[in-house]
Structures are given as C-alpha cells and as structure tokens.
Amino acid sequence: MSVMIAIANPKGGVGKSLTTMMLADGLALSYGARVLVVDADPQAGVTKALLGIDAEQQLRQRQIGLAAMLQAFASGRSMRLASHRVAAGDLIELRDREAGFIDILPSNHELLKEMADFEHEARRKKRKDRLDVLLANALRSELAKIDAGYDAVLIDCPAGPGVLGLSAMRLAEHIVAPTSLETNAYSTLTDFLKFILADDLDLASQVKVHPLITQYQSTNTVQREMLQHIKQGLHHLNAIARPVPYTSALQNAATHPGLGVFRSAREKYGSALPEVIALTKAVVERISPGG
C-alpha cells in the first residue's frame, strides 16, 4: 500500500509546494519510488513546478485535473481520478520511468474562482453530511483504484482550513507541516495543529503531524536558538529535525524549464541537491514504523 502524506499549513508562503516538489524528486531519485502528487491547491504551485506554466494551461483547456474532477463530484458523476493523472517532472534521471517516477493530478488557478460554485452545487445535492468528509471519501475510493501503482502519494494542500485542505488531511496518514521560524508563523502552526486534531474532525486517531522548518537561515541567531528549542521538544511537537534552508538554488529549482525539456538533478538543484536528499531521508525516517 502507498503511504499518503499531506503537506499542509494554513499560512501561505511557507514553502508547501517547494517542499512537495523536493520530496517527490527525492523519493523518486533516492529510493526509486513511484510517486503520485495530488495538487489540491488552486494556486497550482507544484503543478507549475513539475509540469510548467504552459502545460498547466493546456491541461486546463483539455479539462484534465482537479477542477474537472470536482465538477464531476458536484454533479454526482464519477471523478475518474485515474484518467486525470499525467506524467510529471523534469529530471533526466527519471525520464525512462524505470528507476522511480512522478505522476501528478494537476490543479490550475481557475479553480480559485470555481470553488464557490463547486461548494454551492455540492452542498445543494449533498445536504446531510459534511462536504469535506464526502469529498475525502470519494477521493479515497478513487485513489484505492490506483494504489498498487504507487509507493507514495503526496498531497499539496491549500492555505487555510477550507474544504479541499480538510479533505486532503482526512486522506493522509502523515501531515508534514512546513513553517518558517517567524513568531507569528510558528504560533499559527501550533493553533493549526490543535484545530486539525480536535475531536470534531476525527483526525487525532488516524494522522501523525510532523512540523518542518523551512526558509531557515543558519546565520540568524534567533532562528538557530528556536531550532534548538524545537529539537529539544518545544510544545511537544514531533518536528523533523532537519530544516530546509532558504537558498536561491531551491527557489530557481521550482522554475520549470518548459515542455519537453529535461535537466539533471544537479542542474536543477545545484548546490542545494544535498538538501533535497537530506530532507527526503529525514522524512522517510520519521514516517517509517518506529520513526
């Protein structure tokens, strides 16, 4: 069975899509994993990173991706997830799809304005139950049909506790929660963890949460001190000890070179490639039994 990991935090700009891309590349490269990325964020950050802007627009025009699946769900039709996934990634090492590969269920920015209509239509037809529960159940059923084809499913969640984000977290066995070390960002994360683990969401018994420090600057004395406190168990959070540094190399890696263009992992990540490998190893160790 594939392991399902949601990358989630209600705060925007903390590196969720970048983290998702790094983990997808790292799992496929270092472990030969077959990875499915589900882009549940209408901002479509990880879709752009793994497919490119032109591909995102083409798929939207062909009605392939999460938006079309949500329309089907709202109207009571089959979501047919298997037919909406596409091959993703720009790494030469993964091009032959033999030593690991990445597929993606893409999103697009048009979904931002379509969500209100989707929720209205879905609630009109499905009045009795919580919409995030119904959507999670429908997605779980679709994912079960293709589960044997993947080792890991990574779900890039939108900011905020909306229907898409809550549905994604209901699917997950683990939540990796990227956060910066700004005071307000960390307090937002702790409030978020209390919320998603509240009894009324019924998540406490089925999901493990792992905060991940992103945008880390080792030259910042305050950040170094906060990271040390976190490693020592601050707030009893099960944080991943390996932070993701803020580097221009990682930011550049998220810019896809374009349709049909491939590059090596070293060309893509440059000096930050060891960070990708280290992050992936830290996450695998944490989510493994006994981790």
Q: Are 132 and 163 in contact (CB under 8 A)?
A: yes
Q: Are 145 and 78 in contact (CB under 8 A)?
A: no
Q: What is the pLDDT of residues 50-67, one digit of tens each?
A: 999 888 889 988 999 998
Q: Are 15 and 178 in contact (CB under 8 A)?
A: yes
Helices (H), the chain: 16-31, 45-51, 53-61, 66-74, 111-125, 131-146, 163-171, 183-196, 221-231, 248-253, 265-269, 273-287
Query: Average pLDDT for residues 244-272, to the nearest whole number?
Result: 92
The one-letter amino acid code at 111 reads: L
Query: Average pLDDT for residues 244-265, to the nearest whole number?
Result: 91
Whether the predicted pLDDT of 79 surpasses 90 = yes
Whether the predicted pLDDT of 202 surpasses 70 = no
Q: Are 111 and 38 in contact (CB under 8 A)?
A: no
Q: Which of 19-28, 151-160, 214-223, 236-245 has the highest mean pLDDT?
A: 19-28
Whether the predicted pLDDT of 198 surpasses 70 = no
Q: What is the pLDDT of residues 144-168, one digit of tens each?
A: 999 999 999 999 999 877 888 888 9
As a dihedral over the C-alpha atoms of residue 103, residue 105, residue 108, residue 113, rounded to 10 degrees, the angle is -170
Band (pLDDT 50/70/90 cuts) for residue 233 is low
- What CA–CA distance (Å, rounded) separates 64 from 60? 6
285 compared with 202, residue with greater pLDDT? 285
Predicted pLDDT of residue 208: 83
